Each structure stands twice: as structure tokens, then as C-alpha cells.
Amino acid sequence: MNETKNDLLLRALLRKPVERTPVWIMRQAGRYLPEYRNTRKRAGDFMTLCKTPELACEVTLQPLERFELDAAILFSDILTIPDAMGLGLSIHEGEGPIFAHPVRRPAQIEALAAPDPEDALRYVLDAVRLIRTELKDRVPLIGFSGSPWTLASYMVEGRGSKEFTLVKTLLYENPVALHKLLATVTRSVIDYLNAQILAGAQAVMIFDTWGGLLTTSAYEHFSLDYMHQILDGLIREVDGERVPAVLFTKGGGQWVERIADTGCDAVGLDWTVDIGEARRRVGKRVALQGNMDPAVLYASPDRIREEAGAILARYGHGDGHVFNLGHGIQPGVDPDRVAVLVDAVHELSVSYHRDQKPR
């Protein structure tokens, strides 16, 4: 038996019956919340916030104080791994993430090593342990990592990018060097996620934010294969409880069958995909998480309810759906609109779980 009082998320990710559809929101702890902005100001800068477990715990819990969310997600960032590898991360308002020491030449790639998470990333594991204590099993805690391709993109570019020209040049000109980088990052992601799981993360999610920029063949060889390796290396059960793993490739709608075949428990969908069609395509292999357009949260309460209802209807009756946005919530959103969404999902989803019809 799971000890978590509200374990709807875990059940839905494992396609077990639920009374209503669970909901959480990517970037649910973030700049749209005034209390987050206050804590961030107190921390001084974003990385200090991440590296101080008490503050990371505080902001993780903030959205749960306001909204009836069905999960907590660890407050951290995907770029902690390259930071721990020595690339020197800083994140400044309006500039996005920047690495002081990007890796571009084969010799720099060769010199990288996977960090020991209990050492260089101990602050993340301490945050996980503290959050689990403070959560008191109210809802499950989700741990996460970036995908190797997405992390490698930032490591090579040194910052966010629209075109990702440098990493794509490496892909076409020196695939051997890129594969070497991806292998090192993959080793590190496996160690990092397993350490999060052992520290108390009850589900894990891999964010492949930039996989959708690749051709189908490049996606398979430079992103999906490495995520598959991660799934093969993950601890999938702790104390008899399955630890579900979610794969999210932004822009990956055309590849949902292949993503489902990696052995993940659930596939995250961005808003460009029809979730009902995606469900038919993956069948009973995986659960689906998503996928409301984050911009809906700028609309009126009535429109938000309508859009939430439309997604629930597209998914249809039965288990295997975790409601979420198709990407992170934007900083300009009014927090009251989030309350409208969460309440709408709870209320409108009940009828889809009564007298469940077979898929």
C-alpha cells in the first residue's frame, strides 16, 4: 500500500483507476507567484535558491499552499548537472541560463566526467529529503532531469538559443564527439535520477525540451536512444512501489509511439498534439500527461474551464491521464487563473472515471 494520502498521480501514471484526473503544472513554483519572487529576492540569485535546501523546499511547497495540486515537483533546474561538471551556470532575469565554460572542442568533451551526485549535487538530494519530510505524504514528489540531448544543447551553445547552430553543427560535422558527450551526460543523468529516487522522489520526469528541433532520424539517434538507456538504468521500484518515469519531448508529437516503446510509464505531450489521437496511437502501453496550451491561462475563467473540459473530453473515459500544461506556466499569469484550472479539472474529470468504459 502506498502511504501517500493523495496518490492519484502515481496511480494515473501507472494507468490504475482513479476517482478524478490528477493535475499538476510544469513550473508550478515560479515567477508568476509573488511568494516565489519574494523568496528568490531573499536568496539573492537563482542558483543560491537551488543550492539552499531550505529555500528550495520552501518554494516547492508554495504552490501547494495555494492550489489543490496533486503533486509536488522538486524545485531545481535541469542545468544543475552541467554546473556540477564545472561549466559554471548563472541564471539572470531576462537573460536565461548562461555557462561560463561551454564545451565545444573534442578535447573539452573528453575531459568531462559524470559527477558523483552525493557529492557535487548533494544540495539537490538534501532538498528532496527535506521536501519529503515537510510534505508529510500529502501528495507525491516528482524528481526530474533534462534529457541528454537537451543538456548537451545548452552545454555546447553556452546559453539558450533559437537555432542551436553550434550543437547542430557538431551533430553533422563530428557526431562521434557529440555521442561521446551524450554518453557522459547519460551516465550522469542515470546516477542523478537514481540518487533522487533513493532520496525520496516518488516519480521522475525527463525534460527533452529541444528534441523537437531534430529530424526524425537525428531524434532517434541523438535523443531517444539515450533516454532509452536512462530508462534501462533507472531504479524502477523502491520498497515494493513502482517509481513511474515520464518522458516529455517538446515538439515530439509525431514520435509518441516510439517514445512509448522506450519502456517509460507515461509520455508528456505539448499542446500541439490532440491527446485523444495520441491515446489511440499509444494504446495501453503508457499513460499520457498534458496538454493544455499555457497561453489559455491568460483567458477568462470561463474559457479556462471550457478548454480544460475539452482536453478531458478528448482524452475520454478511463484511466491513464495526468492533466498538465503542454509546457511551463508563463511568468505573466495571474495565480487566480491557476486556481480556476485546478478546480475545473477536479470537478469536470469525475464523470470520466465513473462507470469506466473500456478503452
Q: Write out the catalytic residue numbers.
A: 27, 31, 40, 77, 154
Say which DSSP state 330 is in.
P
Q: Which stretch binds ligand CP3 (CB under 6 A): 24-32, 131-139, 228-236, 301-309?
A: 24-32
Query: Among 14, 18, 43, 73, which residue interacts with ligand CP3 (rule: CB under 6 A)?
Result: 73
Residues paired with residue 292 on neighbouring β-strands, in sequence order: 325
Report whether 290 contacts 271 (CB < 8 A): yes
303 binds ligand CP3 (CB under 6 A): no
29 binds ligand CP3 (CB under 6 A): yes
Residue 22: which of 10, 35, 33, 39 has the closest Cα?
A: 10
Residue nearest to ligand CP3 (CB): 209
d(CA 263, CA 228): 7
- E strand or H helix that includes residue 302: helix 301-315
Output 77 or 191, the one with its CB closest to ligand CP3: 77
In the shown chain, the binding pattern of residues 319 to 348 toward ligand CP3, with x for contact by CB under 6 A and - for none, equals ---------x--------------------
Sequence-separated contacts (24+) of 113-118 with Cβ below 8 Å: 113/85, 113/184, 114/85, 114/184, 114/185, 114/187, 114/188, 114/191, 115/81, 115/84, 115/85, 115/188, 116/191, 117/84, 117/191, 117/192, 117/195, 117/196, 118/195
In the shown chain, the binding pattern of residues 181 to 210 toward ligand CP3, with x for contact by CB under 6 A and - for none, equals --------------------------x-x-
77 binds ligand CP3 (CB under 6 A): yes
CB of 328 to ligand CP3, least distance (A): 4
Identity of residue 89: L
Q: Which stretch binds ligand CP3 (CB under 6 A): 91-99, 100-108, 131-139, 268-276?
A: 91-99
Query: Among 33, 55, 69, 78, which residue interacts with ligand CP3 (rule: CB under 6 A)?
Result: 78
Output 94 or 240, the one with its CB closest to ligand CP3: 94
CB of 120 to ligand CP3, least distance (A): 18
CB of 214 to ligand CP3, least distance (A): 15
Position of cell 518522458? 247
Count residues binding ligand CP3 (CB under 6 A). 22
Cα first-last separation, the chain = 26
Q: Are strands 287-292 and 321-325 parallel, antiparallel or unpaired?
A: parallel
Output 318 or 328, the one with its CB closest to ligand CP3: 328
61 binds ligand CP3 (CB under 6 A): no
Output 334 or 347, the one with its CB closest to ligand CP3: 334
Query: Among 144, 192, 222, 323, which residue interacts with ligand CP3 (rule: CB under 6 A)?
Result: 144
Report whether 267 contacts 247 (CB < 8 A): yes
Q: Which stretch binds ligand CP3 (CB under 6 A): 20-28, 234-242, 297-305, 342-350?
A: 20-28
List, in sequence order, every beta strand (DSSP E) within the chain. Answer: 72-73, 89-92, 96-99, 141-146, 203-208, 237-238, 241-242, 245-249, 266-268, 287-292, 321-325
Output 32 or 315, the one with its CB closest to ligand CP3: 32
How many helices and strands in the chain, by DSSP H and E? Answer: 17, 11
Q: Is the dihedral of CA 179, 232, 88, 331 positive or negative?
A: positive
Report whether 77 contacts 91 (CB < 8 A): yes
93 binds ligand CP3 (CB under 6 A): yes
66 binds ligand CP3 (CB under 6 A): no
Residues 6+ apart with CB under 8 A from 271: 290, 291, 292, 293, 294, 325, 326, 327
In the shown chain, the binding pattern of residues 232 to 261 toward ligand CP3, with x for contact by CB under 6 A and - for none, equals ------------------------------
Residues paired with residue 145 on neighbouring β-strands, in sequence order: 206
Residues that bind ligand CP3 (CB under 6 A): 26-31, 40, 46, 73, 75, 77-79, 91, 93, 96-97, 144, 160, 207, 209, 328
